[in-house]
Structure 1
C-alpha cells in the first residue's frame, strides 16, 4: 500500500514527525538500527536551555517549551547552569554571560552550589535557573506512542538501500522490503545528505561533528543530584549530573563522516584534564564513555521544509545539538508546511529554516 508519508530516520526528529504527520495521513517510519534513537538521539546531554543557539534555533526552542512542560505530564526537571572561568578568561567569560543570559556570582557562591570547584583556579562564575533536564527516553516514547496510536508503522532494522522517484511519489528499498509514499521526509541525522543523493538530489552540505562523553563516579562521593550543569568558559568542557554520577564532555567538534561514533581516548583525556583544572577532586576512573555525531548545516540552523528542486522531498535536518529541545516545534512546523496551513512561527524564522537557503 502506498503511504502518504515515508520518514527515514528514527531519532527524535523522525519520531516526532511521525506523531505529527500521523494526524494528516498514513505514515511509515524507517530506522536502520534495531531500536529507535540509536545514534545522536541516544547520546544527548538531554538539556533544555532555550537561549542556546542562533536566533531561528532559539525561536524553535521557545516554541517547544510548552510541550516540554505540559504534554503528557511534561518531560522537564530543574537543573540550572553555571559557567566557570579562570583569571585569564575574563573576555570570553563576559561574552558567555551576555549570550546565555546568566547572572554573575562570586566564586564563594559558586562553591556553595558546587563544593568541588577549585578556589585556586576559579576566578569568575555565573549562574542561571533557565536550564532543565529533558527525559529524552520519555519524550521519544510519548511521540512514538502517539504515532502508533494514530496508525503509523514504525519499522526498525529497516536500513534504506535504494530510493526511486516515481510519477506518484517515491519507492524505497530496505532490508525489510519495499515501501512507497507520496512524500519522503528526510530525518536521517548524520546521513541526510547521503539520503538526498540516493534520491537523486544534490546534498545541501550537512556536516557531522563528533562529541565525546565520559561517565565518572560522583566526585569525592558527593551528592551531585542538585548541582547545575557546569560549563568551562567558551564551552571548553561541560559536566552534568546524571543518575548519581557525572557526565564530563570535552565539548569537541571533530569533523567526521557519518558512522556509529565512538569516543577518542586522547580527546577524552584532554577534556577531563580541562575539567580537573577547575575542581579539587581528580578523576580516578571512568565508568563508561561514548560519542555522538552532531550534524549541522553550513550556517548551523536547522533545515525544515520541502526541497525547492523537488517538493515531494522534505528536509528535517541539521539538528546539531538542539534536536531534543527543538523537536516539538520543529515537527509541528514540518506538519504545518506539509499541510499548507499557518504556523505559529513568524515568517522570518520559517524562511531562515527553509532548505531553499542552502540550494
Structure 2
C-alpha cells in the first residue's frame, strides 16, 4: 500500500481520490458509514465571500470543479444561490471591508429589503450581495467522490478505528481496533476533530486543534419564503435560508467541544431565533428539528496541509474550520501535489 488516508468525510475522500490517480490508496473510517459527522451535518453551501482570505482562495479555485466534476454524478451537485451579508449590530464597516476584498456588491437598506423580502423595513442600513453562491448537494458529492475513488482502485474500510501505529523499515504499520493490520509508506491524517487524537498514535506533534460545536435547526414559518436568499449577519451571529418550506438557521456558535457527537445548544437556538426575528418578519417561534456538528480549527484559523515535523511519512490534512466542503476540490489537489513532491 502506498497511502493510508484516515477519515471518510468529504476532505478525506477528496484527497484519497486525488492520490488514487497514481497511488495505491486505502481509506480508513472509524464509523460504520462514511461522512457521519461534520460532512453530513453542514448547511450545504459554496460561498466565495465566506471565510478568511486563504479559505476564500481555495473556495474560488473549487468553483468550476463543483459545477462540472471530472467524474460521473447522479445529478448536479451545485445549483445557483445568492447570499446577502447584513450589516447588523453596528458592523457596517465589516460589510464595506467584505465588498472591498471579494466579488460581493454593496447595497443599501432598501435594496437589501428588495433582495430579501422578509427583511424588516429599516432594520438594515447596508449589506453585501453575493450572487455567485451555490447550493450544494453535499451527500451527492460525497457519494460521487466515493464511487470515483473506488473506480481508481481505491479501497474503503469502515468500522476501522486506528488503535496503534509504528514506523517499521520506512513504512507505517497501522493496527485497527478490530485487529486488522495495514502497511503503507504514507499516512494522511484527515480525521477532522480527532486530528490530534490520531496524531498522538503516530508520535506526531500536537497541533492544538480546536473542535467547535456548530448548531443548526429548522423552524416553520407562515411567511412566504419565495425569493429568500442565504442571509447572514456579518457579525457571525446567525444565518438562515429557505429549505423544504421551512427556515434552516444557525446561531453560528463556535463553542469548544471534545471530539464526538455534539448535541444542539438550546440557548444558542433561542438567541438565534431572537436575532433573526429582530431583523426579519419570519416570526420564528418553534423548532421542527435541530442538530449539531463540529468545525475544527487550527490555531491560526487556516487549513493545515503539510508533513509532520516529527513523524516521518505522516501528513496533516486537517483544520478546515467548517469550510471543508466548499474548498474540498482545490484543497485536495493542493495537498496531493505536496505529498507527491
TM-score of the two chains, using structure 2 as the length reference: 0.92
Q: How many Å separate the matches in 2 of 1:63 and 1:233?
A: 23
How far apart, in 1, do the equivalents of 2:282 and 2:203 lie?
Answer: 54
Residue aligning to 1:81: 83
**CA separation in 1, counterparts of 2:57 and 2:335?**
15
Alignment partner, residue 212 of structure 2: 209
TM-score (normalised: structure 1): 0.88
Q: 1:88 to 1:206 in 2, by over 3 A?
A: closer
Partner of 1:95: 97
Aligned to 1:335: 336
Deviation of the 1:87 alpha carbon: 7.3
Which range is displaced more, 299-308 or 10-19?
299-308
Compute the displacement of 1:326 (Å). Answer: 1.3
Are 1:87 and 1:122, in contact at CA under 8 Å, matched by a contact in 2? no
**1:215-260 alpha-carbon deviations (Å, 9 max, x no partner):** 112x325244x42110113121100222332211111111122111
Q: C-alpha separation between the residues in 2 aligned to 1:276 and 1:58?
A: 29
Q: 1:172-221 CA distances to partner (integer Å, 9 max, x unpaired)? A: 2223422221111100001111111111122112111111111112x325
2:241 match: 240
CA distance in 1, matches of 2:186, 2:174: 11
Aligned to 2:286: 285
Which residue of structure 2 aligns with residue 135 of structure 1? Answer: 137
Hey, what does 2:55 align to over in structure 1? Answer: 57
Report 1:154-303 matches (<5 A): 154-176=156-178, 177-217=180-220, 219-224=221-226, 226-303=227-304
Cα deviation for residue 96 of structure 1 reads 4.1
Structure 2: 5+ residue runs without aligned partners? none
SS in 1 for 2:235: helix
The number of aligned residues is: 336
Could you tell me which residue of structure 1 aligns to residue 19 of structure 2? Answer: 21
> Matched residue of 2:326: which SS?
helix
Look up the SS of the partner of 1:310 in the other structure: coil
Of the structure 1 ranges 234-243 and 102-111, higher mean CA displacement relative to structure 2 is found in 102-111
- Give 1:350's aligned residue: none
**Deviation readout 1:241-287 (Å, 9 max, x if unpaired):** 22332211111111122111111111111122111111123212211
**Cα deviation 1:57-109 (Å, max 9, x = unaligned):** 22222221221111146522111111223574433443344344432333333
Cα distance between partner residues in 2 of 1:96 and 1:205: 29
Corresponding residue of 1:317 = 318
The question of whether the paired residues in 1 share the 8 Å contact of 2:24 and 2:153 is answered with yes
- Aligned-partner SS, 1:323: coil
> Equivalent residues in 2 for 1:29-40 (5 A)?
29-40=27-38
Shift of the 87–339 alpha-carbon distance from structure 1 to 2, 3 Å rule, reads: closer
Deviates more, 1:15-24 or 1:184-193: 15-24
Do the aligned partners of 1:64 and 1:327 also contact (CA within 8 Å) in 2? Answer: yes
Note the residue ranges of structure 1 that are not aligned, 5 or more in a row.
Answer: 341-359
| Secondary structure, aligned partner of 1:119 | coil
Contact 1:261–1:291 (CA under 8 A) maintained in structure 2: yes
Given that 2:225 and 2:242 are in contact with CA atoms closer than 8 Å, whether structure 1 keeps it comes out as: no
Indicate how the Cα distance of structure 1 residues 89 and 317 shifts in structure 2: closer, same or farther if over 3 A, else same: closer
Counterpart CA distance in 1 for 2:300 and 2:91 is 27
**Residue 31 of structure 1: how far off its partner (Å):** 0.9
Cα distance in 1 for partners of 2:329, 2:312 equals 23
